[in-house]
Amino acid sequence: MHALFTQMPILFIGFSFALALLIGSFLNVVIYRLPIMMEREWRAQCEEIAATEATELPNGRFDLVAPRSCCPACGHQITAMQNIPVISFLVLGGKCSNCQAPISRRYPIIELLTAVLTGFVAWRFGFGWEAAAAILMTWTLIAISVIDIDHQIIPDSISLPLIWAGLFLSLFHETAGAEILFVDPRTAIIGALAGYLSLWSIYHLFRLITGKEGMGYGDFKLLAALGAWLGPWPMLPVIILLSAVVGATVGISLIVFKRHDRGVPIPFGPYLAAAGWIAMLYGPQIFKGYLDYMS
């Protein structure tokens, strides 16, 4: 298999694309269930103090494995044949097989997005440990982005393992021989510290000047994770610059076209995630192009 994927990269790209379709289906479960799991835990802790009863949250076991996926409208359990990524959505006509309630188009979109981005990463890095690490990072950033869009939170249960994974992979820097990922341990530690402290400093400076909170602590941890994976220089400046430019452009556009109220916060995590993904692929080239342009 190793020799086949190495000699025929198109097979590795196709395999990665097909696998990512299945992972994208699982990411839909994570994106929907993890915030509910967190809220259930928070409510349970609050009940111990306030003795209040949580009535609007699911009862019984509710995690990433159980219960089985079901239609949110009628509760009809989704069979394995109805849960094939993208294909099942098309066969069912985008509707529940039981009650005909429309199925959100976001499910196949996330599945396809996961597959396309994974295939691109496989093409960019080729078969090897570097591609495996970059694909894992891609899947994680997709889950973080959509959860932050939906709930304005970045779960510690995703961001903290991402930090530790970056630090762990740095131990294999010399044996991996990768030029973009697998920075050495010293660089990974400095990158994590620099990533966290840079946004932490901006957050407190903004709060001192305006009296408002400009971002959440989840953003600090996400940038710390990106720093642990990619190192502080030149990746972090590229990530911060890209995320700030894209975030400001999108935010201003939404306000101008009256699709977003000025007082409603805009999640910054998706812009950090997108900028980190781009920097992972082309960070040094972007930085070099910027320096050449400025000079």
Q: Kindly report, residue by residue over 127-153, the tens digit of the pLDDT.
A: 988 899 999 999 999 999 999 999 999
Q: Kindly report, residue by residue over 228-261, the tens digit of the pLDDT.
A: 999 988 889 889 988 988 887 877 777 777 665 6
73 shares a domain with 106: yes
- The secondary element (H helix, E strand) that includes residue 177 is none
Average pLDDT over residues 78-85: 87
Annotate 109-168 with DSSP letters as a single string. HHHHHHHHHHHHHHHHH-SSHHHHHHHHHHHHHHHHHHHHHHHS---HHHHHHHHHHHHH
Alpha helix ranges (H) inside 152-234 = 156-169, 173-176, 185-210, 217-230
The larger pLDDT score, comparing residue 53 to residue 50, is at 50
Between the ranges 43-52, 101-110, 112-121, where is the mean pLDDT highest? 112-121
Q: Are 276 and 141 in contact (CB under 8 A)?
A: yes
119 shares a domain with 208: no
132 shares a domain with 120: no
Residue-averaged pLDDT of the chain: 87
- What's this model's pTM, rounded to 2 decimal places? 0.88
Q: Is the pLDDT of residue 284 over 60?
A: yes
254 shares a domain with 143: yes
Going by the DSSP 8-state scheme, the letter that residue 82 receives in this structure is G
Contacts of 276 (CB under 8 A, 6+ apart): 137, 141, 222, 223, 226, 229, 230, 239, 243
Provide the pLDDT for residue 177: 56
288 shares a domain with 169: yes
> Using CA atoms, how far apart are residues 166 and 115, in angstroms rounded to an integer?
23
The larger pLDDT score, comparing residue 63 to residue 188, is at 188
168 shares a domain with 112: no
103 shares a domain with 46: yes
Provide the pLDDT for residue 166: 94
Domain hosting 15: range is 1-126
228 shares a domain with 291: yes
Q: Is the pLDDT of residue 179 over 60?
A: no
> Using CA atoms, how far apart are residues 155 and 135, in angstroms rounded to an integer?
20
Last residue of a domain, one of 100, 126, 152: 126
Domain count, the chain: 2
291 shares a domain with 149: yes
Last residue of a domain, one of 126, 159, 179: 126
Q: Is the pLDDT of residue 55 over 60?
A: no
